[in-house]
Structure 1
Amino acid sequence: MSSEGAGLVRSEVPASGRELKFRALMAELRRGILDGTWPPGSKLPTERALAVETGLSVTTVRRAYEDLVALGLVERRQGAGTFAAQPAADPPTGAADRRIVGVLVPDTFFYYPRVLQGIERELAAAGARLVLACSHYDPAEEDAALERLLSAGVHGLLLVPTLHTASDPGRRADDLLALPVPAVLVERRLAAYGPGDPTEHVCTDHEGGAYDAVRHLRALGHERIALLVRSDAPTTAPIESGFARAVADLGLPEPLHVRDTREGWNPEGADRAVAALRAAGATAGLCFGDREAALVLAAARRAGLNVPRDLALISYDNEFADVAEIPLTAVSPPKFQVGRLAAQILLRRLADGDASPLHQVQLRPRLVVRASCGADRPAEAARKSPRSTS
């Protein structure tokens, strides 16, 4: 693997100022080659000229050129200089059939299998090949996986990084954007940065999903609506934000908010949550995710409550909400479509380089209405509230 790839994915030790400047130079050179600023066969500036132009050392520029040679983007000609590499013989369908796409996900058992199906469907249609890696939500394992993917010669990356546990998410995102191949984030973005988010990404609009769930419950007549979430999940923050916005927009009373870790969500914890719901007078709740909602459902039964008559429930994720003891109404993220669209955007980026616009896409989830909220059909809520989209 090139020194560039190895340096970028080891984030345990903060990068020096010199290293950051090197990464910026690499990214700029790569973009210039991919977007045609230096067309195939054109001569790049000499090492000394580029060092003077950028203010970097000749050694840093030489290292960048050597890494670009290793990536096949430039070639050295003895006594002549450095040139943008000529593409291989043009295949009849362009370059898509040669593309190797690295995909990094944190989990292959929950949530992401459908995302991967969407990615695989799109890459297969384009004749591209997928190389899969899994981080298990471990930053060190994530870095090692990135090294393996780059060593495998991938042309682009679809990444689900652990931004929510990073001490500096913006810096981590900058590291990923400076990798020697294009990267599109999947179900991750720098929401707190607003328009300052530089990432190309495709995400579920979790804020919108939570908002629609509250609006649906309000349309069914509920005013005291609780939010029950896992505190250690990357999806929690946008769900909480969407829930709070809906409560404010609909003029609802201050809601009960139950937060606990995955380990804390167990039968005893669910019993405590249901007791808190009863004490607060809550008649409905949005639970993130399906496992937590199933635990609350069982705790409600132990407390002698009828679901949905005494307590209406909506789950968030729709992984196995339909097989609960009482089928759970659920917010259903468009996982397959997220994966498919992310793959399309990466393939377009590989084909067009910086000529392709930066995509920052959010897809609104849908609400799948089942028995647990007391409205067996979406149309029932729609008749009660002209604003309802469920």
Structure 2
Amino acid sequence: MSKNPAPRKIRDTDARDLKFRSLAADIRRGILAGTWAVGAKLPTEAQLAAETGLSLTTVRRAFDDLVQEGLVVRRQGAGSFVSVRQPVRRRSRLTVGVLLPDTQLYYPRVLQGIEETLSAHDVSLQLATYNYLPEREDTSIDFLIESGVDGLILVPTLNEIADPRQRVTDLMALDVPVVLLERSLTDLGPGDRSEHVCSDHQGGAYDAVLHLFGLGHPRVSLLTRSETPTEPAIVAGYERAAADLGFEPHLARIPRSHWEDGGPDEALTKLRLAGATAALVFGDREATLLEAAARRAGIRIPEDLALVSYDDEMADLAEVPLTAVAPAKHRMGKMAAEILLRRLAEGDDCPIHQVRLRPRLVIRKSCGATRQSAHNEQE
């Protein structure tokens, strides 16, 4: 069977975006580090294209980004130069800096919540992203601080780094107040003094398993994509539910890249070998691909296999609309902004806020429950 060309096109676009963002980050880092002094002429677009092997279009997009940020100015007929940066000065209107991994899928609703809260308090927002590239985080944070923000809402990388505790300590020691969003030191317990607003992903996974178990599935499997910040908490919630309900857990981790090429069929085989009649699948895309694999194998959803997906970004668009665990993304953004504004107003008199929002379960067709039966079950 030939593959759908659409995903290939998306990946090509992402690759081009990554190249120009990476080049912009390199130039930005050089400017902030003093490699090019204020007023210095930068290499021409043609020179950079020749040096890097990138296309002129990619180089031009990188310069466009830097011009928009105010770091670079173009002079007709003369070239591009490092802008004269105005000294940071306090304004009567506050500005909050927001650092996100990206603005796709999970984070638009979070960002909307932040924007609505800041706008209601006449506070400006300065946004930066790092495209899940940890090496770009510090440059992006430096950019936000140099632009004169009064406080920061950060979604940093804490998984798969050498010392997450030191990283959080360094972030909380910045010159402006910091609220972490969807990131915390979960294993540190009361030793974690960071201010944060997070989803209770353990609770969300626990509730999904409880729901499927209550529908008559004595053993629920978990299928995940590996190497994500959310996965450890989902696994912990699933394993706790299995222990509390008294069944042997069955966990299948499949790398994110494999879900496009054989992963769904592999996952379905693992479910059938385990004798599972229900599964929690992280996330929506993976659950949708699993549905397609089940249809090809003649397995009916939900009659033969009940599914709950995790994220609820596109769960309602699946062939069989997916029951989904839905983190409170919009509310999370609002609360992070509210906590930071309270910190800015009260200073050290404000207690440290450490908030966890438990996701809700949105009932659709893929689990075999009706909305009414799910409501009665929760009561």
Whether these two folds match at TM > 0.5 is: yes
In the alignment, what sits opposite 2:12? Answer: none
Contact kept, 8 Å, 1:267 with 1:299, in 2: the verdict is: no
In the alignment, what sits opposite 2:283? Answer: 289
In the alignment, what sits opposite 2:74? Answer: none
Contact kept, 8 Å, 2:88 with 2:147, in 1: the verdict is: no
Contact kept, 8 Å, 2:363 with 2:374, in 1: the verdict is: no
In the alignment, what sits opposite 2:60? Answer: none
Of 278, 296, 306, 2:300 maps to 306
Task: Tell me if 1:205 matches 2:172.
Answer: no
Deviations 1:87-120 (A, max 9, x none): x8xxxxxx8x611100000010110000000000
In the alignment, what sits opposite 2:169? Answer: 174
TM-score, normalised with respect to structure 1? 0.73
In the alignment, what sits opposite 1:380? Answer: 373
In the alignment, what sits opposite 1:55? Answer: none
Larger Cα-atom Rg? 1
Q: Tell me which amino acid in the other structure corresponds to 2:177.
A: P
SS across alignment from 1:190: coil
Contact kept, 8 Å, 1:201 with 1:342, in 2: the verdict is: yes
Q: Tell me which amino acid in the other structure corresponds to 1:313.
A: L
- Alpha-carbon distance in structure 1 between the residues aligned to 2:308 and 2:267: 15
Deviations 1:259-317 (A, max 9, x none): 12211222411101101111110000000010111111111111110000000000000
Structure 1 stretches of 4+ with a deviation exceeding 3 A read none
Residue 71 (structure 1) shift: 7.4
Residue 137 (structure 1) shift: 1.1
- Alpha-carbon distance in structure 2 between the residues aligned to 1:267 and 1:296: 12
In the alignment, what sits opposite 1:50? Answer: none
Task: Tell me if 1:132 matches 2:127.
Answer: yes
SS across alignment from 1:192: coil
SS across alignment from 1:259: strand
- Alpha-carbon distance in structure 2 between the residues aligned to 1:279 and 1:142: 43
Contact kept, 8 Å, 1:284 with 1:313, in 2: the verdict is: yes
In the alignment, what sits opposite 1:315? Answer: 309
Contact kept, 8 Å, 2:254 with 2:267, in 1: the verdict is: no
- Alpha-carbon distance in structure 2 between the residues aligned to 1:147 and 1:238: 30
Task: Tell me if 1:187 matches 2:178.
Answer: no
Identity value in percent:
56
Contact kept, 8 Å, 2:111 with 2:333, in 1: the verdict is: yes
Identify if the C-alpha distance between structure 1 residues 71 and 174 changes in structure 2 by more than 3 Å, giving closer, same or farther: farther
In the alignment, what sits opposite 1:110? Answer: 105
In the alignment, what sits opposite 1:357? Answer: 351
SS across alignment from 1:233: coil
Q: How many corresponding residue pairs?
A: 296
- Alpha-carbon distance in structure 2 between the residues aligned to 1:265 and 1:168: 30
Q: Tell me which amino acid in the other structure corresponds to 2:299.
A: L
Of 308, 317, 324, 1:330 maps to 324
Contact kept, 8 Å, 2:88 with 2:146, in 1: the verdict is: no
Residue 255 (structure 1) shift: 2.4
Identify if the C-alpha distance between structure 1 residues 263 and 136 changes in structure 2 by more than 3 Å, giving closer, same or farther: same
In the alignment, what sits opposite 1:277? Answer: 271
The higher-RCO structure (CA 8 Å, 6+ apart) is 1
- Alpha-carbon distance in structure 1 between the residues aligned to 2:260 and 2:250: 19
Contact kept, 8 Å, 2:99 with 2:129, in 1: the verdict is: yes
Contact kept, 8 Å, 1:267 with 1:295, in 2: the verdict is: no
Contact kept, 8 Å, 1:220 with 1:381, in 2: the verdict is: no
In the alignment, what sits opposite 2:237? Answer: 242
- Alpha-carbon distance in structure 1 between the residues aligned to 2:200 and 2:261: 30
Q: Tell me which amino acid in the other structure corresponds to 1:311.
A: L
Q: Tell me which amino acid in the other structure corresponds to 1:381.
A: A
- Alpha-carbon distance in structure 1 between the residues aligned to 2:151 and 2:236: 32
- Alpha-carbon distance in structure 2 between the residues aligned to 1:374 and 1:206: 23
Contact kept, 8 Å, 1:219 with 1:381, in 2: the verdict is: no
Contact kept, 8 Å, 1:204 with 1:364, in 2: the verdict is: yes
CA RMSD of aligned residues (A): 1.8
Residue 382 (structure 1) shift: 4.5
Task: Tell me if 1:98 matches 2:89.
Answer: no
Task: Tell me if 1:145 matches 2:140.
Answer: yes
Q: Tell me which amino acid in the other structure corresponds to 2:258.
A: G
- Alpha-carbon distance in structure 2 between the residues aligned to 1:268 and 1:105: 31
In the alignment, what sits opposite 2:217? Answer: 222
